[in-house]
Amino acid sequence: MQALARRAAAPVFALALFSSAALIFVLQPLFGRMVTPLLGGSPQVWNASMAFFQGALLVGYLYAHLLQRVTDLRVQAAIHVVVLAGAWFVLPIHVSTAIGPPDSEHPAMWLLGVLTLSVGAPFAAASATAPLLQSWFARTGREDAGDPYYLYAASNLGSFGGLLAYPILIEPLLGAQAQSVAWTAAYIGVGALIIVAAAIAISAHGPDPKPLEHTAPAPTWRERGYWIAAAAVPSALSLGVTLHISTDVASAPMLWVIPLALYLATFVLAFMKGSERMDAGTLLVHPLALACMVAMYFASGNWIFSISLILAGFFFSALICHLALSRSRPSADRLTEFYLYVSLGGVIGGAFAAFVAPLIFNNVYEFPLAMAAACLFRPRVDSDMPRLSDASFAAAVTMGVMAVLLMTQNPLETVLIIGALGAAAAMIAAGWSDDEKPALYRYGFLGTGVAHAAVVIWIAFNVETAISRTVVEGSPQLDFVSPWGILLTITSFMIIVFAVHGTIQPRRDGRRIGDFALGAAMPSAILLLMLILLGAKMDSPQALIIVGLLFCGLAIFLNRGAPYVLASIVLIAFVMIFLDDARNGRIITQERSFFGVLRTREITDSEDPRVPPVRILMHGTTIHGAQIAAPGLTRQPLTYYNPRTALGEAIVAGLSTNEPSSLALIGLGAGSTACLMRESDTLTIFEIDPAVVRLSAMPGGDFTYVPECQPHARVELGDARLQIAEEPDAAYDVIVVDAFSSDAIPAHLLTREAIALYLRKVKPTGIVVLHLSNRNLALVSEAARVAASLHAPTLYRLSDRFEQPYVSFYGGLAASVMIVARDPMVLSTLALPSGDWRDFQAPPGRPWTDDYINMPRALWEGLPIGDRGRSVEECRIWQSPGCPGVPIQEEQPAAAAPEQTAPAAP
């Protein structure tokens, strides 16, 4: 019996660990899917939930560690079975209502309370399985029982499988209630597997299973601190990258699980047998992934490519930390203690990213900080080319200085200042040149540095004489007047030659100042040459930032053996990115709340002081409205809300059916809708973010649309679904659902139950206006499916972007809008000026409901994979080739314009 139990131990324990891990990691997106609609679809819901689950995991690991103090394995097993059975009584999974409705003022605390009451007990009980079963396995007497850590890979593989199964299989096929019932059944099955594993462990060691004896001294507090730090950094990093992706694409389980799945994959790889063989490859690829990530930051227009690079950088950074953690693991007799401190590190990292960072930072700065911190867990290795490594670091610092200068100087002035600094650095490098070099080389280098400095300084003080600016066929031209362009070309080229020659030579002494100076001189000379060759193309801040990030990418790769230097370069690269973002106009307000990062930016035209400033409200990278900040022009709606856009037309037409009219606005933004209304009309605003209300609806805020045009507007703070449900039926003439203008869409506002609710709240002659502009998701198709399921008539229009005086780009943004009504006669009588409103035929597919939201379908149909790079959604909108059953047309209109992001400042 004992031999049979030992043979069966490995597969049974692996299956139990795999199943329990899959169970708890299916629970995370499942409950996140249930609770997210109650908090406006904010991506921070997932981060706060993840921090809670890490805390519950710590509780489970602490319980397992304390349980190990019970020497009798049979008593341990009995206690754990009782705990599992006790946790079963809170099932099936549901959102507890014991602490009342969601609290918009303190959403994180409300969420933690709901998580604790709803899923805390079963999650903590199930999470204790991993360390507990591994410690039981270590007592089976098998030959491999002394190193049960490879079972941790099976556990993490189960977690990985559970996470992938949720968006691929579970979410598209099952509704939320069916998922809850299935999870409860799986919980019972896993409990049975744990009982079988306990019986095998007891049988394998005979009638008197002995406790493990300590074979090594207790770990020091320094070792424990290392375990905590190595676990905390990737935990914080995973939440940072999740927040970035969710904000720029969508807040949905299918996107939540990708970073978490990669995070777990690094655990699997780091703790599997033979993981030490991947050290060399990981250490080589990690800096390459980081370099590509920062160098290609401006590829954000292609979100798939951009996010893939970001995820690659995240994956290898997390793998570096987890490999370091794996190398430092203790013997099996300290296993539960090791996992306890690893879990504590995960809690610290997750709590910092989810709760502390939003309080102390006004932007998502925890992401680059964690990315840099991950570099510190790389081993230090001497470089084969130490002089080039030092020079590349100095070059990155120089480009960081350039980014700072761009905040106050124009690009041409910045390049000349950097050129002057580089010329000074070249003279320093010449003075610190290797004494063993021939005198001709040393004096030639010094003479070249002096000549280069003289040319650069003369040009800097005589820009108008040395450089001419013209406009040829509408394009700006920038040319150097002879002979200054030729002289600068020669001296810059010679500086580059000397710098390259010097940095590739072996280091014969310990002096590094000359190498740093060579590094500072090299990019300055390259920028000057690019300015001469490319002219006006280099007279662009973004072009200079791209060059700077390329230098940082090169420096990251060359300094891969110096952890502290590598971390510094990563931070320099992100500083450049954040400074470039801040450069596009003066930032008046920037604050971060549970619901995202809000920024008010004021843009002025430095070349024409007569042009009034324009204030832009941004949520992440998305425009939420704009206003001209000048007397007499503040009531003019801009961006999506211009009366000429599809959204403006629909709102004005709906209000014209009655006088006075009542309008319900779901999603405040800058409040532009208020100035589309008449003085006699009434406005009710439903907004979940208190920060938005302060900026746009209160006196003294950054935007005055609401105080000026609808000063008596009523503001209801909280989730719009919950708030509007309390309103009387048939209370409004128009309901505007404008919460989709952030890419992290609250999908619960577009379900069948939500649209039915809106239709109940409008009068028989009223309309519901859905603003569906989005860069990545096929929301028009989803809205059409929902409306068709309700037999509600619709009209759809996509209006083009247009410009107007003073505001240029922000005059009117492309708006994708659908009008829904109770009766077709209502739509036929609307006074819509444009003649291109039409019925959008609902495509096949199950409509979204509160129980079923197929986000993968919406994302897939929004991908540009069809004819001429169009998405399935665009093909349907334009009825163009590339969609099944659509006839071929000779001429096609412009592709559907996505939701807009802010351009560079004029």
- Chain segment 280-306, per-residue pLDDT in tens: 888 889 999 888 877 666 555 566 777
- Condensed to tens digits (0 to 9), the pLDDT of residues 517-559 reads 888 888 998 988 888 888 767 777 888 888 888 899 899 989 9
Q: Which of 367, 46, 327 is nearest to 233 (CA)?
A: 367
Query: Can you tell me the mean pLDDT for 317-321?
Result: 92
Name which of 574, 564, 152, 153 is nearest 374 in CA terms: 564
Q: Which two tokens stand for residue 273?
A: 């047998």
State phi, psi for 794 to the nearest 5 degrees: -140, 160
Q: What percent of the chain has pLDDT over 70?
A: 85
Q: Output the pLDDT for position 610.
A: 77
pTM metric for this prediction? 0.75
**Which of 849, 871, 840, 844 lies closest to 777 in space, CA to CA?**
871
pLDDT, tens digit, 9 for 90 and up, residues 854-901: 877 888 888 776 556 677 888 888 776 555 434 444 333 433 444 554
**pLDDT grade, residue 770 (50/70/90)?**
very high
pLDDT at 350 over 90: no
Q: Flag whether pLDDT at 417 surpasses 80.
A: yes
Of residues 624 and 42, the one with the higher pLDDT is 624
Side-chain-side CA neighbours of residue 609 (13 Å): 0
Window from 549-563, 603-617, 821-835 with minimum mean pLDDT? 603-617
| CA–CA gap between residue 770 and residue 689 (Å, rounded) | 20
Q: Which long-range contacts (CB under 8 A, 24 or more apart) does 65-74 make?
A: 65/131, 65/336, 65/337, 65/339, 65/340, 67/128, 67/132, 68/135, 68/211, 68/336, 71/210, 71/211, 72/209, 73/136, 73/139, 73/198, 73/201, 73/202, 73/205, 73/209, 73/211, 74/202, 74/209
Distances (CA, A) of 476 to 471, 538, 540: 4, 11, 12
Specify the pLDDT at position 757: 95
| Predicted pLDDT at 890 | 39
**Does pLDDT of 758 surpass 90?**
yes
| Mode of pairing for the β-strands spanning 682-687 and 662-666 | parallel
What are the extents of the domains in the chain?
2-375, 386-559, 632-852
The CATH H-level superfamily of 632-852 is Vaccinia Virus protein VP39 (3.40.50.150)
Structure-model confidence comparison of residues 248 and 69, the more confident one: 69
Name residue 45's amino acid.
V
- In this prediction, residue 440 carries a pLDDT of 72
pLDDT higher at 706 or 61 = 706
pLDDT top residue among 58 and 9: 58
* Residue 28 scores a pLDDT above 70: yes
What is the pLDDT, as a whole number, of residue 892? 39
Average pLDDT of the residues in 176-184: 87
Mean per-residue pLDDT of the chain: 82
What order of strands is seen across the sheet that includes strand 682-687?
714-717, 682-687, 662-666, 732-737, 762-771, 815-821, 794-799
Average pLDDT for 426-430: 82
What pLDDT is recorded for position 889? Answer: 41
Which DSSP letter does residue 300 get? G
What would be the CATH architecture of the domain defined by 2-375? Up-down Bundle (1.20)
Helices (H) then strands (E): counts for the chain = 32, 13
Structure-token pair, residue 652: 């004005």
The pLDDT-based confidence of 904 (bands split at 50, 70, 90) is: very low
Q: pLDDT digits over 123-176, tens only?
A: 888 888 777 777 777 766 565 555 565 666 677 778 778 878 887 888 778 887
Query: What mean pLDDT do residues 599-620 have?
Result: 81
Residue 344 CA to residue 367 CA, distance in Å, equals: 20
Q: Which residues of 629-653 are buried (b: 16+ CB within 10 A; e: fewer)?
A: beeeebebbbbbbbebbbbbbbbbb
pLDDT tens digits, 690-735: 889 999 999 889 999 999 999 999 999 888 888 899 999 999 999 9
Residue scoring higher pLDDT (404 or 433): 404
> Pick the residue with more confidence: 442 or 450?
450
C-alpha dihedral (578, 582, 583, 586), degrees to nearest 10: -170
Instruction: Kindly state the DSSP code that residue 841 receives in the 8-state scheme.
Output: P
Q: What is the pLDDT of residues 74-92, one digit of tens each?
A: 888 888 888 888 888 888 8
Please give the DSSP secondary-structure letter assigned to residue 806.
Answer: T
838 DSSP assignment: B
Q: Taking 60 as the threshold, does the pLDDT of residue 109 lie above it?
A: yes
Question: Is 307 a residue whose pLDDT tops 70?
Answer: yes
Bigger pLDDT: 442 vs 391: 391
Residue 241 to residue 353: CA distance in whole angstroms? 10
| Helix, strand, coil percentages, rounded to 5, for the chain | 60, 10, 30
Contact status, residue 756 vs residue 790, Cβ threshold 8 Å? yes
Q: Are 267 and 158 in contact (CB under 8 A)?
A: no
Extended strands (E) in 346-417: none
Answer whether the bond into residue 523 is a cis peptide, omega within 30°. no
CA–CA distances in Å: residue 226 to residues 232, 267, 887:
10, 16, 64
Q: What is the pLDDT of residue 606?
A: 67
pLDDT digit string (tens) for 626-636? 999 888 889 99
The angle formed by the CA atoms of residues 355, 358 and 362, to the nearest 5 degrees, is 170
Measure the CA dihedral 444/450/454/460, to 10°. Answer: 110
Residue 895's pLDDT is 39
pLDDT at 58 over 80: yes
